[in-house]
């Protein structure tokens, strides 16, 4: 079986190599555009979004990241002659970023670039008894910066680009959580129902995090002075990109985002640290197409065992701009798992819903709509459909869907740009759940131990899409005031009601995840003491201290209050992991502060 799997993927690699080789030859004389992929944390996205909002241009394509070629096409729709003050300053910052080239010319084709940064961050919180999981932190692992980072970039003419980074920072999970002070284990080795069907019930050999030693401390920092605590899974971002003025193919390890949501997006969201993917995009002034393949982990073993099967998320998306003020997106996507790869299923022109093998496929569709009804104002919505009953089907499976909508506004206030949004979202309990193929995921993190002890992989289960999963009601208000090139102040207020359904809860009334989802609850499901109510308030700021070298500082103060807060069960010696609700009300103050020096 493993030989069949290796043979199939060798064919895929040969096929991709041929595409990239032909692309490199045919694009040697392409126009003056760059295939550099802009990371999602770049100001380019926020800046273009605010300028579109000001000029009533709807929303710039929400399939991200962009190449500089695509960013240039999107940017050119903005009328710079109509801008002044802070908006003009933002326009100039974006123009400089997307026009930049790598500084070192090697010859007539290749250029080299890079950079280095050092980030010193400190994290403190008050309640170490009830807030002891990584997910309890507003700014968790994916939001924290490594102590040291080195970026390496290579461009080939205007048609090719390669990026990779090296990081030295604290790992997500460390051997500290293996009771260094004798207070209790930070990991479990079993679940009652499994994790959807990505980790079936009754399977052994995996490790899940529970209460983590580092999260139980009042104070921690980014300083990792011992290699046993270091994240060795680097690079975190690695991009190989080729393309032309209106298209791109990239093979990457990078963050992805599909959607116009502020609290999250339903198909692919950027709350995870990265995805491994192959992506083709084509874009014009009125239409954009995205076909992507996301490669997901299937081997949940804590040991260094080889893979025996595969699981890939096939996505294709159509984006229309019928008028300057309206953007409409539709997508149809399918999860595909097997131990033998059939290349015909990779055809992006398929209608994925008609791949009717229930044991291998599960389809999910979504739509987005943005309407800039007046300059400075935009309303938007997003809908996802995972499961609906056709007229000829019975009601054995519960409907699975999600709906999100909001309003955005931007205006000039003093020397800065004020943007605000109000958003509401609802997801049904069994969204992303199915009996054979579902839309959950896990990432494996390697844990180094002192003197070679506790060397193993730890699972981090998660959602590919909306970060709160199913069974959630969310209301979120965001306010941001930015002085382009200088700094930003932000405020967020979020409220959520989350029902009983979670990653470790079974979607079947009999507790068997290999049966159809017939969970009977409605959002938010469960009894009164099984429903978590959470309120989060945040004040944050970031400002530029110096330009040469580039020095920036940031701070975030968060308050989290929760009734019937979700937590892991206490370890009873069996290694069984499950969620439980802490009765009553609890809260936590969290402080994150840091400074980054980059060259």
Q: Which residues of 376-414 are buried (b: 16+ CB within 10 A; e: fewer)?
A: bbbebbbbbbbbeeeeeeeeebbebbbebbbebbbbeee
Whole-model pTM: value is: 0.91
420 near 298, Cβ under 8 Å? no
Phi-psi label, residue 123: left if phi above 0, alpha if psi -120 to 50, beta otherwise: beta
Q: What is the DSSP string of 414-461?
A: TTEEEEEEEEEEEE-TTTT--SSS-SEEEEEEEE--GGGTT-EEEEEE
pLDDT given at position 393: 62
Phi–psi pair at 451, nearest 5 degrees: 55, 35
CB atoms within 10 A of CB 277: 20
- Report the greatest alpha carbon distance in the chain: 68
Phi–psi pair at 511, nearest 5 degrees: 80, 10
pLDDT given at position 459: 87
222 near 120, Cβ under 8 Å? yes
pLDDT in tens, the chain (599 residues): 444 444 454 445 444 544 444 444 444 433 344 899 999 999 999 999 999 999 998 899 999 999 999 999 999 999 888 788 888 999 999 999 999 999 999 999 999 999 999 999 999 999 998 998 888 999 988 999 999 999 999 999 999 999 999 999 988 887 765 544 434 446 776 677 788 989 887 776 778 877 777 777 899 898 866 777 888 888 999 999 999 989 999 999 999 999 999 999 999 999 999 999 999 999 999 999 999 999 999 998 888 888 888 999 999 999 999 999 999 999 999 999 998 888 888 888 888 888 888 889 999 999 999 999 999 999 999 999 998 766 666 666 788 999 999 999 999 999 999 999 999 999 999 999 998 899 999 999 888 765 445 567 888 899 999 999 999 999 999 999 999 989 999 999 999 999 999 998 889 888 888 888 989 889 999 999 999 999 999 999 999 998 878 999 999 999 999 999 988 765 455 566 777 788 899 999 999 999 999 98
C-alpha closest to that of 288 among 254, 263, 322: 322
């Amino acid at each position: 079986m493993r030989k069949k799997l290796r043979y199939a993927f060798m064919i895929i690699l040969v096929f991709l190599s041929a595409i990239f080789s032909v692309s490199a030859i045919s694009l040697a004389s392409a126009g003056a555009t760059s295939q550099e992929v802009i990371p999602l944390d770049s100001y380019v996205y926020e800046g273009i979004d605010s300028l579109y909002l000001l000029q009533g241009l709807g929303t710039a394509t929400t399939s991200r990241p962009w190449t500089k070629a695509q960013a240039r096409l999107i940017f050119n729709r903005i009328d710079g002659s109509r801008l002044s003050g802070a908006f003009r300053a933002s326009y100039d910052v974006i123009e400089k970023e997307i026009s930049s080239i790598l500084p070192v010319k090697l010859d007539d084709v290749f250029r080299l670039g890079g950079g280095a940064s050092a980030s010193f961050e400190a994290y403190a919180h008050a309640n170490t008894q009830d807030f002891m999981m990584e997910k309890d932190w507003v700014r968790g692992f994916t939001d924290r910066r490594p102590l040291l980072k080195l970026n390496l970039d290579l461009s080939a003419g205007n048609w090719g680009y390669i990026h990779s980074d090296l990081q030295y920072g604290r790992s997500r999970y460390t051997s500290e959580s293996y009771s260094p002070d004798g207070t209790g284990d930070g990991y479990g080795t079993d679940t009652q129902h499994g994790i959807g069907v990505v980790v079936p019930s009754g399977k052994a050999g995996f490790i899940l995090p529970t209460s983590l030693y580092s999260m139980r401390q009042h104070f921690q920092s980014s300083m990792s002075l011992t290699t046993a605590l270091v994240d060795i899974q680097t690079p975190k971002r690695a991009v190989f990109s080729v393309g032309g003025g209106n298209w791109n193919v990239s093979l990457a390890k990078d963050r992805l985002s599909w959607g116009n949501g502020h609290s999250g997006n339903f198909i692919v969201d950027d709350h995870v640290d990265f995805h491994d993917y192959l992506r083709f995009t084509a874009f014009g002034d009125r239409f954009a197409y995205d076909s992507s393949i996301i490669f997901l982990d299937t081997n949940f073993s804590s040991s260094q065992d080889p893979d025996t099967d595969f699981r890939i998320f096939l996505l294709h998306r159509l984006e229309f701009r019928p008028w300057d003020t309206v953007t409409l997106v539709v997508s149809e996507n399918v999860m595909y798992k097997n131990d033998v790869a059939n290349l015909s299923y990779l055809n992006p022109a398929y209608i994925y819903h008609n791949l009717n093998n229930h044991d291998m496929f599960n389809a999910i569709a979504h739509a987005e709509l943005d309407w800039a009804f007046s300059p400075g104002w935009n309303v938007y919505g997003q809908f996802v459909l995972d499961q609906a009953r056709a007229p000829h089907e019975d009601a054995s499976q519960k409907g699975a869907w999600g709906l999100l909508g909001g309003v955005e506004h931007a205006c000039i206030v003093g020397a800065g740009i004020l943007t605000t949004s109000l958003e509401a979202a609802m997801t049904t309990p069994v969204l992303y759940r199915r009996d054979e193929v579902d839309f959950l995921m896990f990432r494996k993190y390697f844990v180094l131990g002192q003197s070679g002890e506790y060397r193993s992989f730890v699972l981090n289960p998660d959602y590919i899409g909306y970060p709160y999963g199913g069974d959630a009601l969310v209301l979120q208000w965001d306010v941001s005031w930015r002085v382009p090139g200088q700094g930003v102040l932000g405020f967020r207020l979020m409220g959520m009601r989350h029902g009983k359904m979670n990653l470790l809860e079974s979607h079947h009334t009999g507790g068997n995840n290999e049966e159809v989802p017939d969970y009977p609850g409605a959002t938010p499901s469960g009894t009164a003491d099984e429903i978590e109510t959470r309120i989060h308030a945040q004040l944050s700021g970031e400002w530029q201290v110096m330009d040469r070298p580039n020095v920036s500082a940031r701070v975030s103060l968060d308050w989290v209050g929760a009734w019937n807060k979700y937590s892991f069960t206490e370890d009873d010696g069996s290694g069984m992991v499950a969620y439980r609700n802490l009765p009553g009300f609890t809260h936590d103050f969290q402080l994150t502060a840091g400074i980054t020096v980059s060259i």
